[in-house]
Each structure stands twice: as structure tokens, then as C-alpha cells.
Amino acid sequence: MDTPASFAHIQIAATGNYVPPRIVTNDEMASYVDTSDDWIVSHTGIKERRWAEEGISTSEMAYQAAMNLLSKGDHQIDAIICATATSDYPGFPSVACILAERLGVFGPALDVSAGCTGFIYALEVARGLIAGKTARTVLVIGSEKLSDVLDLTDRNTCVLFGDGAAAVLLQSSHEPLFIDTYIKSEGAGSQSLTIDAQRKVITMQGRAVYAFAVRVIAETIDALLERNDLTIDEIDWIVPHQANSRIITASAKRYGIEESKFFMNIDRYANTSAASIPLALSEMEEKGLLKSGQRIILVGFGAGLTYGGNLLIWR
């Protein structure tokens, strides 16, 4: 996508979330692997994360996030898209199909696998369904149970990830509030961050991923600003994938963006992959940080390697 698409009038109408009750502190992580609270905080910004109990699946967390959203209003759902890298099964039924059955939805239901950028990709798929008049409302969920794919002997990865789910409802709008999407991939870097197919654990080349992330955050923001004749001063919030606070700090400093524009909650939830951006949005709404008319950029980056962002105006 090198130029903005012709967007139908679409908005995010509601948000919801679910995080497991179990809090795993850095001190607990130090009982599994050679690390410390000081090391984890200084290198990542993470103080704790949530891990789901055994028997609580990716689809169950997604369902709880959906129910949290639905508890906030009378919302119709025509289609479901779930962004995840940790689905319940290696094939069908997909997480979205499981949710469709539980929620009584008979429209399209599919999973999107684009790593930590999955939610960004899923929003664009949902926008296409609405713009093409296949659906009027689409439930878009990011849900991950990353505790199932951690190597607790690898301190460079196991301290980074947490579990959780969050949802948004995308629907038609009387105003053009969903402005633009910019999505890209760099397949040559696919082995830099992946879930090992044989060992079923996350592997990562930390320095390569760090350099990639700092670069593409700026590229995505610049592209969305340039394509829409905006300056960074006209953006109220940047909601990035919550991977590492040092990545956000480095991006902000290198490209002259006020760090205060970036919303971060990585200290409490760690990296929840495709769930991190909607989890941040849901928390921001609960805290009253999102105001009508605010311009917001969502930025994702991660396994694939994939990256991209969305520009929207809050309803």
C-alpha cells in the first residue's frame, strides 16, 4: 500500500479486554532463570506480566475480552477476526470460529497470523469487510497465550512475554474516522523472531529485532503523516506494540518525537504480541485518556518480519 486507500466511513465503536489474574513478578522470573528485577526493568521496562493458568486457552481469553466489550453496550457482531500466534490448535477450528460458535455469530470468522503486527493487519481486513459491505460490524480481537511457548532457560526471551486478550468493535460511521493503513513485511528477516516449529518455543535475535523495530516505527509514522498531510504535532497519541520500553525511547529520541505521545503499559503486562495494542487502547479508554476528535496512530512490528500502522480519529 503506497498510497491511501479509498476508505469507507468506519470507526472503533467499543473496546474490551481480559488479562489473567495471575501476576508473575520479575522476582519470580529470577527463580526460573539467571536474572534479576533490576536487570529486567533496566533492559525492558517490564516489572510484571500475566500468565494464564493451565486449561485457560487463547480462545477462552479472547471470549472473555469479547464479553467484556459486549457488557458495555448493546452491540451487534456480523464477523470476527482474531489476531494470534498461539491459537488453540495448529489448524481448524480457528480461534475466531470458536468465538463465532460461542457468540452465535454466523458471518465470516477467521484468524490472522502476522506476529506482533497481527492486530494492525486484522483491522485492515475488518475495514475491507465493512467497506465491501460483507459486514456492518466486525469484532477484532488480539489474543495470546505466550506462556505456553516460552523457554524458561533462555533469559533473553522468557522474561519478555505475557498473556492476555483485548477486543475492539469496528463498525460503519457517519464520519471518516478510520483514515489510513500502512502495512509492510520484510520476509528476509523471518528467522529473527519466530516460534520454533519443533521445540514450540520463541526464539529471537535480539539485536536484529531491536534495530528493525526502531527503524520501522519511524518509517510507519512518517508514512502515515506524509500521506495524510499531517505533522507529528497534530497527533495526540501514538499507541505502539508493547515490546520493549527501550525501543520506544530510542525511536522517540532518534526521530525527535516527544516520548509522552507514546502510551506504554508494558511495565504491567510485558509483551502480549497481537494483544498488546488493543489492550493499550482498552486501558486508555477505561482511564479516560481517549477524547473525541483525537488523532491516534497505532504502530505494530514483530515476527514475520511484519510492521505497519493505522491512523484514526477517536469517535
Residue 3, pLDDT score: 44
Residue 198, pLDDT score: 82
Nearest to 40 by CA among 283, 246, 220, 265: 246
pLDDT in tens, 220-260: 999 999 999 999 999 999 999 999 999 999 999 989 999 99
Cell of 164: 492476555
Evaluate the CA torsion angle 188, 199, 161, 31 in order and state its sign. Answer: negative
Stated pTM of the model: 0.95
In the residue annotation, 271 being an active-site residue is answered as yes
Give the angle 260-262-263 at the CA atoms, nearest 5°. 105
Residue 2, pLDDT score: 46
Residue 117 and residue 299: Cα distance in Å, rounded? 8
In the residue annotation, 116 being an active-site residue is answered as yes
Residue 4, pLDDT score: 44
Residue 264 and residue 249: Cα distance in Å, rounded? 11
Asked whether 268 and 287 are in contact (CB, 8 A), the reply is no
Catalytic residue among 26, 68, 116, 158: 116
Locate the domains of the chain by residue range: 1-315
List of residues 6+ apart from 23 with CB closer than 8 A: 48, 49, 50
Catalytic residue among 26, 241, 244, 310: 241
Residue 8, pLDDT score: 65
Residue 1, pLDDT score: 41
pLDDT in tens, 169-179: 999 988 889 99
Asked whether 271 and 244 are in contact (CB, 8 A), the reply is yes
Which of these CATH numbers, 3.40.50.1970, 3.30.300.160, 3.40.47.10, 3.40.50.10490, describes 1-315? 3.40.47.10
Residue 314 and residue 296: Cα distance in Å, rounded? 7
In the residue annotation, 241 being an active-site residue is answered as yes
| Residue ranges for the chain with pLDDT beneath 70 | 1-8, 90
Strand, helix or coil for residue 108: coil
